[in-house]
Amino acid sequence: MSRTKKKNKRHVFINPRTDFGFKKIFGNKRLLIAFLNSILSEHIVEVTYLPQEQLGYRAKDRKAVYDIYCIDDTGKRFIIEMQNARQPNFIDRTLFYASYPILHQAPKGKVKITTESGEEKEIPWDYELTNVYFVCILNFVLFEEESARDIVVESITLVRQTAGIACTDKFKVVTVELPKFKKSKKELRTLLDKWIYTLQNIDNLQERPHELDEEIFKELFEDAKLDKLTQEEMETYNKSILEYDDVILALNYTEKRGIQIGEERVRKEHILNAYRNNISIEDIAKFTGLSVEQIRNIILTN
């Protein structure tokens, strides 16, 4: 009885859920602005990237390191993060990270103003803040209750409990739970639908679907082509893919079986996924410590 070998599908586009892929896509200002406008219903025109590492006021204070951190021309601040694994106290961590762009708005000393008569004077800061938005794109389900089963995008704000209305618009956390998004490309209706679909699926597509015909998605798919990466970028991406696989494979296996993944199975899955992501057999051998012949055998027999 003959057995048909499965053909390995070669990847064309980068995986935006990896550290490298996420920063590559949202390192493009036009793409970042379009995404933020879509998910926050804002009208952002221009942004400036800020340092990803934010320090406290004292040397011993804990630091915060963001994936993407920027400010628009009105002073609003935006943190955008990709998380592939649930962390303990996730919401607490989010609030802690969001506290930095709030805290750093406080001026040192008094505020200098110019009066109508042209006189300069110093006055105490009145605590007026500019908006801070924290957008968390999650490759896992955070809110598991039945009422939230089909809610992909969730907004977290400060709400008056008795009135049930927001008491300020200056702070908002937005979560995007990718596993909850079940729409096919034919069901995409809004720009936000298309953004989420793209973040969830682009690395498994061979070409841009005609449903994503807006100019911004044409630019995104062009930027995301693997064959446009420099050799240095490709090496960084390869490492990012291996790290991503390490996390995802461990999580998936643990969730399904509740036991530790076997070392040999993990190695094979890493090798096959690396090969599908256009990593050469020679590079896979170098990363894994196996011989080129061993890598070829694994690819041919799986």
Tens digits of residue pLDDT in 102-145: 988 888 777 677 777 778 887 787 888 999 999 999 999 999 99
DSSP tag of 3: -
Nearest by Cα to 187 from 155, 211, 171, 164:
211
DSSP state of 207: S
CB atoms within 10 A of CB 114: 9
d(CA 132, CA 143): 22
The dihedral built from the CA positions of residue 241, 243, 244 and 250, taken in this order, carries a sign that is positive
Domain residue ranges of the chain, discontinuous segments joined by +: 1-106+120-228, 229-302
**Cα(15)–Cα(184) distance, integer angstroms:** 19
Q: Strands 153-156 and 171-177: what pairing?
A: antiparallel
**pLDDT at residue 60 greater than cutoff 70:** no
pLDDT digits (tens, 9 = 90+) for 164-193: 888 998 999 999 999 999 999 999 999 999
Q: Name every residue whose Cβ is closer than 8 Å to that of residue 296 and which is 6 or more positions away in sequence.
A: 281
Closest CA to 237 of 280, 193, 207: 280
Give the closest residue to 81 by CA, choosing from 65, 57, 96: 65
Helix orientation angle between 29-40 and 215-223, rounded to the nearest 10 degrees: 130
pLDDT at 171: 94
Whole-structure pTM over 0.95, yes or no? no
